[in-house]
Amino acid sequence: MKLLGLFVAGACLILAQQPAAPSAPVPTTQPSPAAPPRADALRDVSTSLERLSRRVSRAVVQIFSSGYALSEEGGDGTNTAVVTRQRATGSGVILTADGYIVTNGHVVSNARQVRVRVAAEMAGRSTLQPAGKMLNARIVGIDRDSDLAVLKIEKTGLAHLDLGDSDGLRQGQLVMAFGNPLGLENSVSMGVVSSVARQIKPDDLMIYIQTDAPINPGNSGGPLVNVNGRVIGINTFILSQSGGNEGLGFAIPSNIVKNVYAQIRAEGHVHRSEIGISVATITPALATGLRLPQDWGVVVSDVEPNESAEEAGLQAGDIILTLNGKTMENARQFEVNLYRYKVGQKVSLEVQRGPTKLTYAVAVEEREDDPQRFADMVDPDKSLIPKLGILGIELDAKIVEMLPGLRKKYGIVVAARAGESAYTGDGLQLGDVIYSVNTQPVTSVDALRAALDALKEADALVLQVERMGKLLYLTMTME
């Protein structure tokens, strides 16, 4: 299906009908009629879009989640947060005939129940479509770094879509966004790719496809598809001053989705990748100071001892020319591209060291200090510690193995944030291990909650925590 070609053909036909400026006197004889235009050109485009929409819509689902979260206001007039019921709706796309679905993580975060409405099987072509069937869904896993989640429904023979290659996207290509904006089931909009790789925050490893296809709240988790009906992105958020669509929609590229989806299906969580180096973008000033042969690109600023990059032979000062054959132009590009590779894979780095070009095969390793890895292990019903605004999990043999070298064999790991803390002062960080409250050891989440509840409003709170191998005292007071 060559929609762009049809659009061009239609435009040429329209232009062909415009009268040209005369360069000679108009003859008195009537000219022979021109060949009839292809009046069906735009109709062909419309029919192609209709067929594509019908095929894709069958694999798009509406998601309803409910759970509990901390409200920002206390129910008794104090600053203590309270737990309230939370509901969310969004979209998703079926990727397998047996019911695996990809959506956004924020659609199902904190959810205790998730239900999915699948498209109804259409026997005819009624304008008013019947409501689809509601099914219970299981959360296979959530990856908060990429804001992706995988769900599973117990049904077979489902219409599904394939993930495309987002690296092949080009600015200006036609795309269609599917989903349930503002709860309006089974909606579609069309636009173009505004940017193939947009980075929203300077320190964010994620990049997004930017599109002007209208996206609104409720589209989150729905597919962004190309003219071949392949999913090239998962619609995620918009930038807006009014709260509505302003032509600035963003989708997670399908090649990132592939990696996250495969890991969650296999293990329930995602391993973060690194090779044990720090890199910097080469600027003219940096090139002059270090006497580098080029004033752009990526230079290795540090090689960590006993990591895969050192074992492969990389050195500080090496200029990284390519990663798996792709030219590296800046440090952020290098980090974003490395982010996609799975733990255990090897990447090929071509580097320049002085006048010599060298190639190294470097094994991708798991980022061991990722504090987000505990978030998928919490049970919101049991892990909530509202006065600290966190979700905590107790140390057990599995977690101790993940945190080698801990000073003590008991304590509570700060696994996730769950609202505002009732205390101000020194803040907790993800991955902290809480050992005591005002010298009283805490060996369970219940014990931590009880110790906090026993404090009076005027009492100071001192937590002993371990952070990155060091013991700290955190002092806090009630707001």
Domain of residue 46, residue span: 1-13+38-55
Q: Is there a domain that residue 22 lies in?
A: no
Residue 356 has what pLDDT? 95
pLDDT, residue 32, reads: 55
Which of the four pLDDT bands, split at 50, 70 and 90, describes residue 62? very high
Q: Is residue 20 in a domain?
A: no
The Cα 340–Cα 207 span in angstroms is: 11
pLDDT average, residue stretch 336-354: 88
Question: Does 362 share its domain with 404?
Answer: no
Same domain, 74 and 156: yes
Q: Token digits for 158?
A: 């489902």
The residues annotated with a catalytic role in the active site are 106, 147, 220
Is the pLDDT reported for residue 426 higher than 80?
A: yes
Domain of 457, CATH number, reads 2.30.42.10
Residue 396 within a domain: yes
**pLDDT of 419 above 60:** yes
Domain-terminating residue out of 349, 366, 383? 366
Segment 75-94 mean pLDDT: 66
Task: Quickly state the pLDDT bin for 76 (edges 50, 70, 90).
Answer: very low
Same domain, residue pair 226 and 282? no
Distance CA(306)–CA(252), nearest Å, equals 34
The predicted structure's pLDDT at residue 376: 63
212 or 377: which leads in pLDDT:
212
Looking at the chain, the whole-number percentage of residues with pLDDT higher than 90 is 52
| The domain boundary residue, chosen from 366, 387, 414 | 366
- Residue 29 is assigned to a structural domain of this protein: no
Contacts of 326 (CB under 8 A, 6+ apart): 337
Asked whether residue 9 carries a pLDDT value surpassing 70, the answer given is no
pLDDT at position 34 is 56
In order, the DSSP letters of 387-434 are TTTEEEEE--HHHHHHSTT-S-S--EEEEEE-S--SEEESPP-TT-EE
Q: Which residue has the higher pLDDT, 370 or 351?
A: 351
Q: What is the pLDDT of residue 25?
A: 52
264 Cβ contact partners less than 8 Å away, ≥ 6 residues apart: 140, 141, 142, 143, 148, 149, 150, 270
Assigned domain for 24 exists: no
Q: Are residues 216 and 316 in the same domain?
A: no
Indicate the residue among 251, 269, 287 that finishes a domain.
Answer: 269
Taking CA 163 as the corner, what is the angle to CA 158 and CA 166, rounded to the nearest 5 degrees? 160
Which of 64-68, 257-261, 362-366, 444-448 shows the lowest per-residue confidence on average (mean pLDDT)? 64-68
Residue 223 has pLDDT above 90, yes or no: yes
Where is average pLDDT lowest: 165-174, 342-351, 398-407? 398-407
| Confidence (pTM) | 0.67
Both 386 and 351 in one domain: the answer is no
Q: Give domain status of residue 143, yes or no.
A: yes
Number of domains in the chain: 4
Please tell me the predicted confidence (pLDDT) of residue 16.
Answer: 42
Give yes or no: residues 112 and 227 share one domain.
yes
- Does pLDDT of 8 surpass 50? no
Reported as a single tens digit per residue, the pLDDT across 269-315 is 777 788 999 999 999 999 999 999 999 999 999 999 989 999 999 99
Say if residue 131's pLDDT is above 80: no
Asked whether the predicted pLDDT for residue 179 surpasses 70, the reply is yes
Same domain, 468 and 376: yes
Dist CA 448 CA 389 (whole Å)? 13
CA–CA dist 56, 83 (Å, integer): 39
Does a structural domain hold residue 343?
Answer: yes
Pair 302, 428 in one domain: no
Are 358 and 320 in the same domain?
yes
What is the mean predicted confidence (pLDDT) over 311-325? 96
Are both 292 and 377 inside the same structural domain? no
- Do 449 and 430 fall into the same domain? yes
CATH number (domain holding residue 169): 2.40.10.120
Q: Does residue 165 carry a pLDDT above 60?
A: yes
- Dist. CA 223–CA 189, nearest whole Å: 11
Among 2, 60, 259, 25, residue whose Cα is nearest residue 179: 60
Higher-scoring residue by pLDDT: 39, 184: 184
Residue 312 located in a structural domain = yes
Is the same domain home to 3 and 81?
A: no
Specify the higher pLDDT residue, 69 or 459.
459
Q: What is the mean pLDDT of residues 49-73?
A: 82
Pairwise CA distance, residues 162 & 176, whole Å? 15
